[in-house]
Amino acid sequence: MFDTICAIATARGIGAISIIRVSGPEAISKVASIFSGKNLNEVPSHTIHYGYIMANNERIDEVLVSVFKAPKTYTTEDIVEINTHGGIASTKKVLETVLSTGIRLAQSGEFTKRAFLNGRIDLTRAEAVQNLINSETELERKLALNTVDGKVEAKIKKVRDIIVNLMANIEVNIDYPEYEDALVITLDNLPPRLTEIKQELTSLLEESQIGKIINQGIKVTIIGRPNVGKSSLLNALLKENKAIVTDIAGTTRDIVEGEIELKGIRLKFIDTAGIRKTTNLVEKIGVDKSLATLEDADLVIHVLNNNEELTKEDEELISKLHNKTVITYINKNDLPAKLTIPKTSNLVYGNTITLEGIDALKNKIIELFDLEKLNTSNLEVVSSVRVINLIKEALKSIDNALASASKNIPVDMIAIDIKHAWDLLGEITGETYQDELLDTLFSKFCLGK
Ligand SMILES: Nc1nc2c(ncn2[C@@H]2O[C@H](COP(=O)(O)OP(=O)(O)O)[C@@H](O)[C@H]2O)c(=O)[nH]1
Ligand SMILES: [Mg+2]
């Protein structure tokens, strides 16, 4: 049994209402002791009551108090919510009055943590509550809500069930060899079962790409030689003059960033210093930074100048991009063509003066990342980095098991890897967890949630 906790659940600042939330065994009796109005100890569950919060016979605020009795509440405990007048002074004073009854101030995410520890929701759902609060785009909201609704939990449990059935069969064979009707798991019939599990895990990881793009956006680096029009392109994409544009090569020396939304997905553009050999120290640092942004770019827009021949520097840069997703943007097509470049599939021509090619560039991004599909996807996919990493680990264990089976290692030895995969998936839902994990996970939460 936990103690009773309280916190302000609404945003700090001036507003019509603030809500102070109280949860725990003494929530109702303690709030009743500072409330003048109906006796809250005697009211039915899920009801709202008008009255005053009182301290030393003084009225602190005129409030509405909601009473929710266990177990059908957010935390599964008794919960009282006090609706005070919004603003700083009333809210603060009511909170102080609640604290004066001996109720403790909650830590970040402690209400949701209790919902988890009390078994109402699993860890994927608890984790997604904060994602829902943090959602800025429609797709983020849908994705988070589906996870809060338990869609991810169900998928993980489905794979876990397949694994546990397999483990049960192996156990029966080992412990009760005399059970003749139990299916005997052998090195012949084990691999297809492991392959089925592997496929389930692989498809969870494939789907998670959608989740990653929705939550983190697509990082796009704009790269190329000096003066080809990278900064002009950034400005055209953002529809604002964010980066400085001049005809002096080497103008952009630091990284300039900007974001737009495309089909509900955030594109995070980075304009970089033009890549060239330079003796200027500041520019050189810029060039090194440019090359470094390639590392974690999801997409590279390589800008070339239509009005110039391909140079050695262009070619060198192209050779650095071979394992990246690249769109080659041939800028300055308002000027006579002098560039000859081998045809590649992701080629867009345009210029930043009439803005020809900007829409084509956006359409290319939509096509490359299948953004159209995102909007028709059911968005019941994994998106948490924590969960993705655990699925990857579980997949490794199943791969180990498959490798062992091919080496004729006895089934009861292989069972160790299978059990490990099952445990890892258990960490995702929180069937097994460490306190440390809960601490880091919930510390990212808002107070009062
Ligand atoms: N004719 C023409 N000039 C352009 C175009 N885009 C940029 N410029 C000019 O090219 C020069 C360099 O542009 P900038 O965006 O600073 O290039 P960056 O060094 O690659 O960032 C500036 O004088 C721009 O006005 C274009 O599409 N057509
Ligand atoms: Mg520039």
Q: What does pLDDT average to over the chain?
A: 93
* pLDDT at residue 373 in the model: 85
Domains of the chain: 5-117 (3.30.1360.120), 151-213+380-430 (1.20.120.430), 218-297+299-368 (3.40.50.300)
Please choose, from the candidates 306, 320, 311, the residue with its C-alpha nearest in 3D space to the C-alpha of residue 356: 306
pLDDT bracket for residue 80 (50, 70, 90): very high
| Ligand 1 contact, 229 CB (< 6 A) | yes
Q: What is the mean pLDDT of residues 257-277?
A: 90
* pLDDT at residue 333 in the model: 96
* pLDDT at residue 422 in the model: 96
**Measured distance CA(51)–CA(285) in Å, rounded:** 65
Q: Residue with the nearest Cα to atom 2 of ligand 1?
A: 332
Q: What is the mean pLDDT of residues 227-246?
A: 91
pLDDT bracket for residue 223 (50, 70, 90): very high
| Ligand 1 contact, 223 CB (< 6 A) | no
Instruction: Give me ligand 1 centre to Cα 357, in Å.
Output: 15
Burial profile 224-248: b = 16 or more Cβ within 10 angstroms, e = fewer = bbbbbbbbbbbbbbbeeebbebeee
Highest-pLDDT range among 51-55, 315-319, 342-346, 378-382: 51-55
| Ligand 1 contact, 305 CB (< 6 A) | no
The pair of structure tokens assigned to 391 is 């699925």
Q: Which atom of ligand 1 is nearest to the CA of 228?
A: 20
Q: Which ligand places an atom closest to the C-alpha of 233?
A: 1
* pLDDT at residue 276 in the model: 81
pLDDT digits (tens, 9 = 90+) for 282-321: 888 888 888 888 888 999 999 999 999 999 888 888 988 9
* pLDDT at residue 108 in the model: 94
* pLDDT at residue 322 in the model: 87
Q: What is the mean pLDDT of residues 213-231?
A: 93
* pLDDT at residue 61 in the model: 97
Q: What percent of the chain has pLDDT over 70?
A: 100
pLDDT(201) > 90: yes
pLDDT digits (tens, 9 = 90+) for 383-407: 999 999 999 999 999 999 999 999 9
Is the distance from CB of 365 to CB of 268 less than 8 angstroms?
no
| Ligand 1 contact, 253 CB (< 6 A) | no
Q: Which atom of ligand 1 is nearest to the CA of 271?
A: 21
The phi and psi torsions of 116 (rounded to 5 degrees) equal: -70, -50
Residue ranges with strand state E in 188-239? 218-224
Residue 347 burial class via C-beta count within 10 angstroms: exposed 0-12, middle 13-18, buried 19 and up: middle
Q: Which amino acid is at 189?
A: N
* pLDDT at residue 274 in the model: 81
| Ligand 1 contact, 428 CB (< 6 A) | no
Of 221, 230, 232, best ligand 1 pocket probe by most atoms within 8 Å of the beta carbon: 232
Please choose, from the candidates 260, 227, 224, the residue with its C-alpha nearest in 3D space to the C-alpha of residue 242: 260
* pLDDT at residue 91 in the model: 96
From residue 442, alpha-carbon distances to 5, 33, 114, 122, 435 in Å are 15, 31, 10, 13, 11
Residue ranges with strand state E in 72-182? 79-85, 104-105
| Ligand 1 contact, 216 CB (< 6 A) | no
pLDDT digits (tens, 9 = 90+) for 108-123: 999 999 999 999 999 9
Of 221, 352, 361, best ligand 1 pocket probe by most atoms within 8 Å of the beta carbon: 352
pLDDT(335) > 80: yes
Q: Residue with the nearest Cα to atom 23 of ligand 1?
A: 247
Q: Which ligand places an atom closest to the C-alpha of 334?
A: 1
* pLDDT at residue 219 in the model: 96
